[in-house]
Structure 1
C-alpha cells in the first residue's frame, strides 16, 4: 500500500520549528535557553580558613550548587579572606571577591550573581552561623540552642532537600556535639555523633567528639578505639596515640 504524505506536512517535518512554536511546544527547553549561565565560585579552603564551612553552607542554600560552587584550596591573601574566585564566563575573565566573612555577605554575592536560594535552608544557615559564633566565644550552652533550631528547620524540609543538604546537617551535628562535650553533656554528644556516623561513617570529626564524650564518661576502651578511628580517617596517627596516652598513662598509674 502506498503511503501518501501531504507536501506541506513533509515540509514541516524537514524544517525546524519556528522559535514561537518551540517556545509553545517545549516550554522547558525555551526556559533553559533563556536562563543565564551561572558563574562558577571557587572558594578558598586553606588550612586555617573559614571558607571550608562556607563551601558546605553555600552548597546547602543553593539548590543547584553543582558544579558552580567548589572548594579551591588556599587562594592566598589570607588577611582578606575568605576569598572567592568568581568566574562569570565573560571575556574579561575571573575576579576575586574578598572578605566573604559572613553569611550575609555570601548571600549578597549569590543574589548579585543571580543564584537561587532555598529560604528554609538559609534560615537554618543563619541559626548555624550564630551557633558557630557563640561556640568560638566559649558560649556553648547558647550555641547548642541555635544548633537545635537549625536542625529543626532542616527537619521541616522535604526528604529530597534533607538528602541534598546532608553535609550541612552533619556540620551542625558535629558542632553541636563539640558544644555538648565542652559543657559536659557527654551522653547528648554521643547521641549526636552516633547520628553522624550512621549517616557518614567516614566523618573524622564525629569520631573525635565521640572519643571526647567517652573520655568524659570514663569509658576509656571506647575512647581509645574512637581515637584510633579518628587517627585513621584524619591521617593524624601520632596525634591519636598522644590523645590515647593521656588516659592510658593515668590508668596505669592508678592501677600500679
Structure 2
C-alpha cells in the first residue's frame, strides 16, 4: 500500500488536538493528545479467561510493566490462513488453531480492555502519547471503501509498532509466520493488538464491512507502509525484527 492509498477518514468525536493529514498510516490518520478520548467500554467475555493483568502474549519487544494492567476474558482467535481463493473478508479458517505461545514468538502482543482507562494505562507504560479513532465502513467512506479495503490487504511492514484498540466491529490482521505462512488473527470489540516493527502483515475488515479502531503511537510514527519486495526485505527494521525473532525462537 503506497501513501496515496492511505485513508483520511476519522471518527467525528471532540478531539483536543489538530489533525496532521501529512502523516501516513495503515488505516486512519491524525494526531490526538492522549487522554483527549475517554469512554468506558463494556463488553461480554467468553469462557476462556486469564488472570487479571496478564497479557496473552508477552512480546519480545514488551519492556513495560504491563503485567500489572487489568485484562478480562480474551475474544481474539488466531489460526492458519487457508490460502483458498475468495473474498479476503471471509474467515479463511483452515481449522488449524495457532497457539498463543507461537504468536508470542512472532512478537505479537494482545490485550482485552473493556475500560478505556486500561488503554490509557498501557499507553503510559509504553509511552504512547498520541492517538486517533477511525471508522472503516461503506457508510463512512462511500465509494472508495472497496478500493481502500483492498489496499489495506497489500502485504507490507512499518518501521514502528502498529497498535490498534477495537472500539466496535471486527477485522482480521494477517501476520507472516517463521515459515512465511499467514497466521490470521480475528479481533473484535475491546481487543487490543500490538504488532512489532518489521513484521510483514496485512489487514481487512470482515464480511460485516465495519470496524472502528483507535490507533496509538509515540511521537512521530514511522508508519509509511513499505510493500514487500527485495529492497524492503533488507530494510534495517526488518533485519532487526528477524534477528530478534530468531533469538527468541532459539530459547
After TM superposition, the score normalised by the length of structure 1 is 0.23
Q: Which has the higher contact order (CA 8 A, sep 6+)?
A: 2
> Which structure carries more strand by proportion?
2
**Which is higher, the Rg of structure 1 or of structure 2?**
1
